[in-house]
Amino acid sequence: MTINCIAVDDEPLALGLICAFIEQTPFLNLVGRYGSAVEALGGLQEHKVDLIFLDIQMPNLNGIELARVLDSRGPNKPRIIFTTAYNQFALEGYKVDALDYLLKPFNYEEFLHASNKALAYAELLQKSNTTQPAAEPAAPERVEDDYLFVKVEYQLVRIALSDILYMESLKDYVKIFLKNTEKAILTLSSLKALEEKLPAKRFMRVHRSYIVSLDKINSITRNALQIGKINITVGDQYKEEFSKFLSRWV
């Protein structure tokens, strides 16, 4: 697999180093090099670009702002690996769904590690596209697989659906609690986005802050349910749907 990429940096030496690293990496194909984010926007109109090595601190339009512009392209947007001398932008890079964050000065080993994440993502995307049937769009029965991938820091982590106990929303993040481990997985996502990826027959939103795995429920009271040692209240707006679920046995 070959990944078409561009490099964007207003420092000529840094730009030259990144381009040299790209050219010595077999699966990367350099299709453009730009000294500003504004120039890069023009280049993105001319080339099919899968990956951008993007500096953050640049005049006129910085890297974070360019990432937000590209975010409007949806799933077809090129992915981004930030290259910067300022570590205070790490969280911002995470929020715009960057694949990785290289802190200058970095060596080729660090560059290759980040590039391999891009390769793994591209292979995963290609596999997903080839396994999906080219039929008419299905009704929202959502995921047919027995797993999902979530973004954890700068990598995609695979989680088996059968391991999920429940999910809890915490502002911009979601904590995913799994069986056989006390440590939850923290992902930058909304509960709604995860809900759309889960099969409705196995998971249910029972509160604005909770999604539960139906087969992990241990007991149910009038307004709450229990999973392990955790009691979760069923929110008013979700009671009707939850009652339908209960009606199978009551």
Please write the tens of the pLDDT for every residue from 140-159: 444 356 888 888 876 778 89
Between CA 151 and CA 158 the distance in angstroms is 9
Range with lowest mean pLDDT among 1-5, 89-93, 150-154:
89-93
User: Which pLDDT does position 8 carry in this prediction?
Assistant: 96
Judge contact between 141 and 199, C-beta under 8 A.
Answer: yes
Q: How far is residue 67's CA from residue 199's CA, in Å, rounded to a whole number?
A: 31
Measured CA to CA, the distance from residue 236 to residue 239 in angstroms comes to: 5
By residue count, the chain amounts to 250
The per-residue pLDDT for 180 is 87
Residue 75 binned pLDDT confidence (cut-offs 50, 70, 90): low
Q: Do domains 3-129 and 147-246 have the same CATH topology?
A: no
Q: What is the mean pLDDT of the chain?
A: 85
User: For the chain, what are the domain ranges?
Assistant: 3-129, 147-246
Alpha helices in 96-159 (DSSP H): 108-131
Residue 138 has what pLDDT?
Answer: 45
Number of neighbouring beta carbons within 10 Å of residue 45: 7
State the fold for domain 147-246.
OB fold (Dihydrolipoamide Acetyltransferase, E2P) (2.40.50)
The answer, yes or no, to whether the previous bond of 105 is cis (omega within 30 of 0) is yes
Instruction: Indicate yes or no: pTM above 0.85.
Output: no
Mean pLDDT over 92-112 rounds to 82
Cα–Cα distance between 223 and 232 in angstroms, integer? 9
Under 8 Å between Cβ of 206 and 235: yes
* Average pLDDT score over residue span 35-39: 94
Give the lowest-confidence range in 89-98, 207-216, 239-248: 89-98
CATH superfamily of the domain spanning 3-129: Response regulator (3.40.50.2300)
Between 85 and 207, name the one with better pLDDT: 207
